Amino acid sequence: MTMILRTSLCFILLLTASFSLQAEEPVSSEQASTEKNQPVKKQYYIVEVVLFQHLNEQGKLDEFWSKPDIFADALAPTNNNSNTTFSDRSAENNLTDDTPALAEYDLQNKRFSPLRNGIAVTSAGNYKLSDSAAHLRYSKDYKLLAHFGWTQRSLSKKRALPIRITSNEFSDSPLPSGELKLYVSRYLHMLVNLKSSKCDYPSPQNESISDEDLDKQLQSGVSKFEIEANLKNDNNNSNQCVNKTYQFTQNRKMRSRELHYIDNPVYGMLVYVTPYTVN
């Protein structure tokens, strides 16, 4: 009986050693060449964006935006630069006219211009957010500003290039300028960095002052000449505009094939990203 057990144990050990040698057998040069020649798949994304504006003015009043700046000739050509772009100072990659970009979208002319090879513009027939854009277009609460899309590689924040948004910043109906950048840092991220400016004129003061107010100022030691001069200056200042700046800056973590809504009290954005691979 002991002899049988020993024979069985030796057989098992020999069988195990044989399997071990087979497992450690080196890969043939033909197999290695086949694996090496297999094409590397590249990850791409189709990005679709719907940009709109809130028509409810209350949001602008409820939030502090920026310290007002007074411009004597804000509407003059020197202050009306349609090429001006903006990036928040806290952003790592500030966008200027000289900064490389994937593409440029002109909000006023509704024109999308690719600036890099391999960047394709999404045709309107392939839009997935057409119904949402139509709802915004005919809504009394929102104003549709842009609907566009593009394709790009899956790249890190450092390597990814932004989409440049251009407009005339100083206008009665402010349009934002700046950048949009999709990048990958474990998750998808959309960096929104937009700014718009609006020139508001103060309401003109009355050319006359009530008798009660006149008596109060005279009693306080102000001469009638000074009161009339102050009224004149106030009316002159009504021709100067106060520049109000509205910033739309967010960095949103996203998932592909999901609708994402990004907004602030002035602007909003719908984003949909579809991944695909290319051999």
Of 72, 85, 78, 82, which Cα lies nearest the Cα of 199?
72
User: In the beta sheet, which residues pair with residue 52?
Assistant: 144, 268
| Res. 269: pLDDT tops 70 | yes
pLDDT at 83: 36
Structure tokens at 55: 């028509």
- For the ranges 84-93, 114-123, 239-248, the lowest mean pLDDT is seen at 84-93
Q: Cβ(218)–Cβ(224) under 8 Å?
A: yes
Which DSSP symbol is given to 19? H
pLDDT at 254 over 80: yes
CA dist 16 and 159 (Å) reads 51
Please give the residue that has the higher pLDDT: either 35 or 94: 35
**E strands, 154-218, in order:** 163-166, 177-185, 187-200
- In sequence order, the 6+-apart residues with CB closer than 8 A to the CB of 46 are 122, 126, 149, 150, 151, 273, 274, 275, 276
The answer to which of 35-44, 94-103, 265-274 has the lowest mean pLDDT is: 94-103
Q: pLDDT of 185-240, one tens digit each? A: 999 999 999 999 877 666 555 555 555 655 655 566 556 556 556 666 655 555 56
pTM for this prediction: 0.65
Q: What is the per-residue pLDDT across 41-97, written as a single tens digit (0 to 9) for each?
A: 889 999 999 999 999 877 666 666 654 433 323 323 333 333 333 333 333 334 445
Query: CB atoms < 10 A from the CB of 198, how many?
Result: 21
Per-residue pLDDT tens over the stretch 136-173: 999 999 999 999 999 999 999 999 999 999 997 555 56
Distance CA 105, CA 164 (A): 6
- In terms of pLDDT, which residue wins out, 80 or 249? 249
Q: In this predicted model, which residue has the larger pLDDT, 171 or 177?
A: 177
179 bridge partner residues: 164, 193
Pick the residue with more confidence: 120 or 74? 120
4-14 pLDDT, tens digit each = 545 554 545 44
Q: Give the 3-state secondary structure of residue 138.
A: coil
